[in-house]
Amino acid sequence: MTIELTAAHWLFLFWVGVVIVVMGLRKDPIIPCILGLLTVGWLYKHSFISGVSTIFNALIVAGNEFWGIIVVISLIVALSKLLSDTGADYLIMSPAARIMVNPGIAFWTVGLSMMLASWFFWPSPATALIGAILFPAAVRAGLPAMGVAMAMNLFGHGIALSTDYVIQGAPTITAKAAGFSDPSPIIAASIPLSITMGLVTTVTAYIILKRDMAKDPQRIVAEQLALTASQVQREVNWLSYFLAILTPLAFALDVAAMWQLQLRGGDATALLGATAVLILTLGTVLKYRWQGLEKVTDYIRGGFMFGIKIFAPVIIIGGFFFLGKGELAKTILEAKAATGFLEDFGIALSQTIPLNKAFVAVVTLFTGIVVGLDGSGFSPLPLVGAVAATFDKAITIDKATLAALGQIAGVWTGGGTIIPWGLIPVAAITGVNPIDLARKNFIPVVLGFTATTIVALFLL
């Protein structure tokens, strides 16, 4: 199959390069993506008006692809605010606080709690939850503030956000760009890679932390003295206990149903979203009575403001990179003859340069890392998915594994583990310097990337 690369192909590739450079400089790539859609559409259709229409078409296509995930994340964030207002979040996390009797148990308890909370409630709400409830208990157990911050980062913004097995936001975006109809292949392929990345980073971080604690034990004592001695005080009542029991139980039943009934993709998202909105509605009415008819609107509005804030740039970036995928490009360009620009480049590249699995794995890894430097964990996903689809056209590989590797690289970098500008929320709530936190996370994450890429090579 011979691919003819046109001027539109090269123009698209030029804008891909511009987007990567801009994101590597920690700037938002929205303007380059919009200009890319305009100029590529203009050149392809030989009409400026068609170029303008291409921008809107791309946003609609990307919005349709991501809307289900936007809704479920927004509803879960709204629910997390209700749990905070009722004190149910404190009751949910208080058992974990009681078992932290020494620094080692505290590190793994904080980390695993952060991972579970992030899987179900997203890392941003989980950061506030863990920071308010478990941080004081962990410091009193002898774990330094830096250790708490590292555990929260690596388990929450690293493991949980890069896997996203419950809400399935990250794998859905990657899967759409890679050409899968649902996120199941990405989720399945990511399991061995995520286990490798998670074990290497967290164990390495713990070893480094133990060494630092042995060097400077007085720092821990000083932090304990500086910490407010009293436990976080929350007003709890029967509703707090009711929601603290109902919420985990309902989501556990959802996970069991997803497993038993093999619910994937949109079906799993629908189940989680509906569960969140039902608990939100019930809890709001029980707490506010008749005022709940209006208060629930405030919760939902706040949740959707968060969801749109997170996904607004992703929709534009995704719309641009969807030009690289054949079926979506046809819709965006309104042309049945349109082909995916990146897919065409992959085939053309394979016809001129001998590609191998090691090369495509390293390229995908570094693509995710570089694009993730802008500090957004989701911005790299449309590109790494498209890159995986591109190489899949060029050589025989496991596209899902390659896409999962790029997803891990992009989210671990941009989600907030090794770049100071992505670490500010966790740094602020634990009182550590974000630059120092990035420096502490750097070696564990780099070793994790290396080990994960090696494992990926055996699976490709």
The pLDDT value recorded for residue 180 is: 87
Question: What does the pLDDT read at residue 230?
Answer: 43
Average pLDDT of the segment spanning 291-309? 89
User: Has residue 203 got a pLDDT over 70?
Assistant: yes
Identify the band that residue 233 occupies on the pLDDT scale cut at 50, 70 and 90. Answer: low
pLDDT band at 159 (very low <50, low <70, confident <90, very high): very high
Question: In the predicted model, what is the mean pLDDT of the chain?
Answer: 83
Rounded CA-CA distance 388/406 in Å is 8
Cα angle vertex 179, ends 178, 181, to 5°?
Answer: 120
User: Model confidence over 15-64: pLDDT tens digits?
Assistant: 888 887 887 676 778 899 999 999 999 998 889 998 999 999 999 988 88
pLDDT score recorded for residue 376: 66
Of 158-172, 186-200, 414-428, least confident by mean pLDDT is 414-428
Highest mean pLDDT among 15-29, 40-54, 119-133, 215-229: 40-54
**229 pLDDT tier (thresholds 50, 70, 90):** very low
pTM: 0.75
Query: Residue 161 pLDDT more than 80?
Result: yes
**Per-residue confidence (pLDDT) for residue 276, from 0 to 100:** 87
Q: d(Cα 454, Cα 447) in Å, to the nearest integer?
A: 11
Least confident of 127-131, 216-220, 377-381: 216-220
